[in-house]
Amino acid sequence: MTLDAGGAPLRLRLDLGAPRRQPVWPAEIRLQSFSAADAEAVERLLVDVWPIGVAGAPDGWFAEVRKDTEWDASLVRLAWSERDELLGLCHAWTSGFIKDVAVAVPARRRGLASALILDMADTLARRGHSAVDLKVMPTNLAARALYQRLGFRLVPD
């Protein structure tokens, strides 16, 4: 994660042993795991939703993440509209760390990010993880509020 004027990112953790809500998907969402054919759509979404774009990925998002030893395509969940538009994604590493959460601007405030994160938490719990971590910039108040509602708590980095 790139630093900005807001300071160092905060590490948050969700205890997967604690009860949590089940994902509730917005109407007309089709969920699927990542395939290489989705790489361009993922990159477009990331560039659209993050002001800094896909920092540190000069060859593109997929070219960079698939080099990582923690890469597993089944840990990238994609939410598509009925019109085959990529509306959101949640990407985790095999260590149980959520690397990316992104939702297209027109699809926000409908519960999609919550559903994606809760779905990924369920997947990681089934894989034996006791917790899931992520990082968020201190200035990203909307994301911090979302994570808090889902049960994430601040932990030392």
% of the chain residues with pLDDT over 70:
90
Domain ranges of the chain: 10-155
Give the integer Cα–Cα distance in Å for 157 and 137: 13
The distance of Cα 135 from the centroid of its chain, to the nearest Å, equals: 10
Q: Which pLDDT score, from 0 to 100, does residue 2 have?
A: 40
Selected from 3.30.420.40, 3.40.630.30, 1.10.3470.10, 3.60.15.10, the CATH number assigned to the domain covering 10-155 reads 3.40.630.30
pLDDT tens digit sequence for 52-98: 655 555 567 888 899 999 999 999 999 999 999 999 999 999 999 99
Give the integer Cα–Cα distance in Å for 99 and 117: 11
Instruction: Provide the angle, in degrees to the nearest 10, between the axes of the packed helices 141-150 and 112-126.
Output: 50
Average pLDDT, the chain: 90
pTM of the predicted protein model: 0.90
The distance of Cα 7 from the centroid of its chain, to the nearest Å, equals: 21
Both tokens of 71, joined, read 């890469």
Q: Residue 148: which residues within 8 A CB-CB, separation 6 or more?
A: none
Both tokens of 123, joined, read 């997947």
Strand partners, 4: 7
